[in-house]
């Protein structure tokens, strides 16, 4: 669904919290002196969206989240129209969520450097 609108109207039969997925950051310390040194940090709680019972306006991209798609399939949520504007409170929530999602994306998908030549690193 290629949508260019910023917001979506969603009708819900219950209060529910949706997430974009189970994003996490690997914070394992390979030098730890403990037997089980594997460790991850959950990032997804920062990007939760509370959908309230009744009709409400939410950021349009949440309609693409798997949690929302499953709730639509199970008839808990109904996706309505996509719109360009919303009230100032919803605009502020969207701006905060956009920032959190960008930060999560940077942390969970770090840029990998490829094709490094050791001669270039050594300055030769």
Question: Does any domain span residue 1?
Answer: no
Instruction: Confirm if 91 and 97 have CB atoms less than 8 A apart.
Output: no
Instruction: Confirm if 79 and 62 have CB atoms less than 8 A apart.
Output: no
Domain that holds residue 20: 7-122
Give the contacts of 121 (CB within 8 A, at least 6 positions apart). none
Question: Does any domain span residue 47?
Answer: yes
Q: Could you write out the DSSP letters of every residue in 28-42?
A: --TT--SS----EEE
Task: Please give the backbone phi and psi of residue 4, each rounded to the nearest 5 degrees, phi first.
Answer: -105, 0
Q: What is the pLDDT along the chain (124 residues), one digit of tens a residue?
A: 457 889 999 999 999 999 887 777 777 777 777 766 777 777 778 888 999 999 999 999 999 999 999 999 999 999 999 999 888 888 899 999 999 888 888 877 665 556 666 676 676 5
Question: Does any domain span residue 37?
Answer: yes
Question: Does any domain span residue 29?
Answer: yes
Which two tokens mark 60? 């349009």
Beta strands in the chain (DSSP E): 7-12, 16-18, 24-26, 40-42, 49-51, 54-59, 77-83
Domain count, the chain: 1
Question: Does any domain span residue 2?
Answer: no
Question: Does any domain span residue 51?
Answer: yes
Which two tokens mark 122? 């050594």
Cα–chain-centroid distance for residue 96? 12
DSSP label at residue 84 = S
């Amino acid at each position: 669904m290629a949508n260019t609108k910023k917001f979506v109207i969603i009708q819900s039969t219950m209060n529910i919290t949706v997430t974009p997925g189970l994003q996490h950051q690997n914070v394992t310390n390979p030098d730890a002196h403990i037997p089980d040194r594997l460790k991850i940090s959950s990032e997804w709680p920062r990007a939760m969206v509370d959908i309230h019972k009744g009709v409400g306006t939410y950021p349009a991209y949440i309609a693409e989240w798997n949690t929302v798609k499953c709730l639509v399939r199970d008839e808990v949520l109904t996706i309505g129209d996509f719109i360009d504007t919303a009230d100032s409170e919803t605009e502020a929530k969207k701006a905060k969520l956009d920032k959190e999602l960008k930060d999560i994306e940077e942390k969970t998908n770090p840029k990998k450097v490829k094709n490094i030549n050791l001669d270039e690193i050594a300055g030769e």
